[in-house]
Structure 1
Amino acid sequence: MSSPVLFTELNTNNGYKIGVATLNQPKILNGLSLEMCRLLGKQLAQWEADPDVVLVIMQGAGDKAFCAGGDLHGLYQSMQTWQGQGAWANTYSREFFEIEYKLDYQIHTYNKPVICWGHGIVMGGGIGLMIGASHRVVSESSRLAMPEVSIGLFPDVGGSWVLNHLPGKTGVFLASTGAILNTSDALFSGLANYQVDHANWEAVVNGLLEAAWLEPKYRRFNDDLVHAVLAAHKGKAAGVGPLQQHYALINEICAPVNIQTIYQNIALLKDSDDPWLSRAASTMLKGAPLSMALGIVLQQKTLHLSLADVFRMEYIVALHCCADGQLQEGIRALLVDKDKKPKWTPSDINDVTEAILASYLDSPWPKSDRHPLSDLV
């Protein structure tokens, strides 16, 4: 049986190596499992310590996706097993989010250049892997989103930090609606910083192999080598995307602090003549009201926090989401029974109270225990 992540090392022309990590689950759009997170974390650490490795590339097998998200089936089974036993009882969810978040943080703080080849679908957990990379590359067919509102979760994997760093109030809108970004908007938002056409990716890799690398301690020089190769193979401009086109409107309707007001403002777009806006509003209206609210309140709470503290807060909220029934119901409706008719609780945004939201920020473990992510610095 083939490994869910493939690791290879390419030899550069001047004696260094490029590490390539390929997510190898194309039949499920390279969905990120706990095993894959472990494998990636271990290999990335080895490459970081290897003085011959000057660059790491992350990519996905197949032509459809880099990574479409996390292991929802595994989480669903764990939620069934520990149903009704509280947020700290589910040992699988505790381990999954701990290992996944540590991996994401590892990429953010990596001491060598990392290219993420975000060809095709990049969503949820895929965004978590991609956004920490120093060089985030999309193709002409890339589609990026954080669609957790549809499954009863929230934009995690550092999403609260990521969305807070997007232009204007676009982070609030994307968290609320799970709206899909095309290549142009991925670049406009900053989720991606390079575009390369799929047909030219092999030429990029060859260009990297031919580059005049220096030893890893010259990080800034090597970063510029990567930039030069990617810039030399830049894809054609795709024009203005819908996020950029509606930027002023999004800033206006997502400016209020009150979550219910934002919800009502976005809901009015359901009948918009613009299909992108209409779809975004419809997705929010079908999604979990609690998830929409959590996505916004977490951005508000984490605005001035460090990345490490953001991951620590998201970890607490994620465990509560695995215990409250919302995520379980969302996965059931989408992937198990596939009736696409989730029954959310609360079912109305006006029933999402400050007390409910505050309860998701309470640490579920014994007070004497350390935070599982306390070693992130």
Structure 2
Amino acid sequence: MSDTVEFIELACSNNEHKIGVATLDNPSSLNALSFDMLVSLKDKLELWHNDESIICVVIQGSGEKAFCAGGDIRTMYNVMRDTDDEQTQEFCTTFFTVEYQCDYLIHTYSKPVIAWGEGIVMGGGMGLFMASSHRVVTPKSRLAMPEISIGLYPDVGGTYFLNRLNHNIGMFLGMTGIMVNASDAKELKMANHLLLSEDKPALVEQLQMVDWNTCIDSYEAVSDLLETMETNVADKMPEHQLLPFMDRIESACRPDGIENVVNRILTLEIKEPWFETAKSNLLSGSPITAHICYRQLTQLEGLSLADCFRTELNLSVRSSLLGEFQEGVRARLIDKDGSPNWRYSNVSEVDKKMIDQMFTPLWDKEEHPLSQLGQF
């Protein structure tokens, strides 16, 4: 059955420990996360967190095309289109609250979490992936935060993890939604291990063979195992795309005003197909998203992880009410005409007061749905 998360517990050789494996099973939608999948994953991860026999967790996607291509924005679109603001706010608050609680749980998990990032890793999938302690990519991996194309913004912890990438690359990724291949992901520290697709069964088998009883540090044991398996795979990975141009990208994305950043990106002379895609994404993307992303990466870099998610919940619910997100999903995924009617035609036209309003809290501090995040 698809649109579920499948869970298994694999016994280790010492008969005292087990490996928890969670498989996102929604292959027809590239393992996009429905609300029920998020609830199921969160509940099981909490149980495994408190189960002393579970020594580590593996999260993977069903099939080879995708780890996870994001959240279930089609359902969200139907709610935004067919209900009033109050119902939309209630649904989106509930959906994003559970998603961000799940992401935060993985970020703060007390056991190793291995994310097997095969294929597409985007949006909500990036939230799970970047939260994991051990992030594995293969030659087929493609990582992206493409929200600018649908009028949302880089959420699921993007405020936290994009701010922690070097070279202003977080700004570039958020502004352009460009896909990052495995080799660049490793160099940029978005991923920390390179393996081949066919290595996954051996990885799980060797995790079962570890003598966890004598293991002092389970995180180190998992890292050592992955590093051992990484030997001699570099020559089978794709060539770097972003890395040769990092100096120019870093200079273009220096934070001296959003109009300056956008203009410099669009005028960079990088004659590569991937960069033409990046420019096209920025030109055709939501100017409102660009403004939110710029503010995330210039004014919110010092927020704690919990406060990042609290800020994002506010932004996500407000985005669901604004209309830009709805229009972006319609144009890209529903009608597929590729011509969203954005509220503004470029970043220079965007009303800064409207962006201020997007960041204005919907709830008092004590009433925030994520008020308890990080308190225990």
> What is the TM-score when the length of structure 1 is the normalising length?
0.94
* 1:267, distance to aligned residue in structure 2 (A): 1.6
**Alignment match, 2:323:** 325
Gaps of 5+ in 2: none
Give the distance between the partners of 2:251 and 2:77, measured in 1 at CA: 37
**Alignment match, 2:252:** 253
Q: Name the aligned partner's letter for residue 167 of structure 2.
A: G
Give the distance between the partners of 2:240 and 2:306, measured in 1 at CA: 32
Residue 336 of structure 2 is aligned to residue 338 of structure 1: yes
> 1:9-88 counterparts in 2 under 5 A?
9-15=9-15, 16-83=17-84, 85=85
Q: Name the aligned partner's letter for residue 375 of structure 1.
A: Q
Secondary structure at 2:212 match in 1: coil
Q: Name the aligned partner's letter for residue 36 of structure 2.
A: E
Give the distance between the partners of 2:68 and 2:255, measured in 1 at CA: 33
* 1:221, distance to aligned residue in structure 2 (A): 1.2
8 Å CA contact 1:148, 1:291 repeated in 2: yes
Give the distance between the partners of 1:323 and 1:334, measured in 2 at CA: 18
> 1:213-252 counterparts in 2 under 5 A?
213-214=212-213, 221-234=217-230, 235-237=233-235, 238=237, 241-252=240-251
Give the distance between the partners of 1:348 and 1:176, measured in 2 at CA: 13
Q: Name the aligned partner's letter for residue 9 of structure 1.
A: E
> In the alignment, which of 346, 350, 370 is matched to residue 373 of structure 1?
370
* 1:3, distance to aligned residue in structure 2 (A): 6.1
The CA deviation string for residues 61-81 of structure 1, in whole angstroms up to 9 with x for no partner, is 011000001101111011113
Give the distance between the partners of 1:261 and 1:362, measured in 2 at CA: 25
**Alignment match, 1:138:** 137
Secondary structure at 2:115 match in 1: strand
Secondary structure at 1:233 match in 2: helix
The CA deviation string for residues 86-144 of structure 1, in whole angstroms up to 9 with x for no partner, is 6x852110101000000000000001110000011000000000111110000111000
Give the distance between the partners of 2:91 and 2:211, measured in 1 at CA: 45
Q: Name the aligned partner's letter for residue 190 of structure 2.
A: L
* 1:256, distance to aligned residue in structure 2 (A): 3.2
Secondary structure at 1:57 match in 2: strand
Secondary structure at 1:303 match in 2: coil
* 1:320, distance to aligned residue in structure 2 (A): 1.0
8 Å CA contact 1:164, 1:303 repeated in 2: yes
Give the distance between the partners of 1:301 and 1:14, measured in 2 at CA: 50
Give the distance between the partners of 1:256 and 1:205, measured in 2 at CA: 43
Residue 211 of structure 2 is aligned to residue 212 of structure 1: yes
Distance 1:3 1:325, change over 3 A: closer
* 1:369, distance to aligned residue in structure 2 (A): 6.0
Q: Name the aligned partner's letter for residue 7 of structure 2.
A: F
**Alignment match, 1:297:** 295
> What is the TM-score when the length of structure 2 is the normalising length?
0.95
Q: CA RMSD in A?
A: 1.7
> 1:161-172 counterparts in 2 under 5 A?
161-172=160-171
* 1:240, distance to aligned residue in structure 2 (A): 5.2
* 1:36, distance to aligned residue in structure 2 (A): 0.6
User: Which piece of structure 1 moves more, 11-20 or 229-238?
Assistant: 229-238
> 1:75-224 counterparts in 2 under 5 A?
75-83=76-84, 85=85, 90-214=89-213, 221-224=217-220
Distance 1:52 1:368, change over 3 A: closer
Give the distance between the partners of 2:171 and 2:365, measured in 1 at CA: 35
**Alignment match, 1:315:** 313
Give the distance between the partners of 1:26 and 1:309, measured in 2 at CA: 33
Gaps of 5+ in 1: none
Give the distance between the partners of 1:214 and 1:221, measured in 2 at CA: 10
Secondary structure at 1:20 match in 2: strand
* 1:244, distance to aligned residue in structure 2 (A): 1.2
Give the distance between the partners of 2:181 and 2:367, measured in 1 at CA: 41
Give the distance between the partners of 1:180 and 1:2, measured in 2 at CA: 26
8 Å CA contact 1:78, 1:90 repeated in 2: no
Percent of counterpart pairs with the same letter?
39
8 Å CA contact 2:177, 2:281 repeated in 1: yes
8 Å CA contact 1:118, 1:130 repeated in 2: yes
Give the distance between the partners of 1:81 and 1:101, measured in 2 at CA: 25
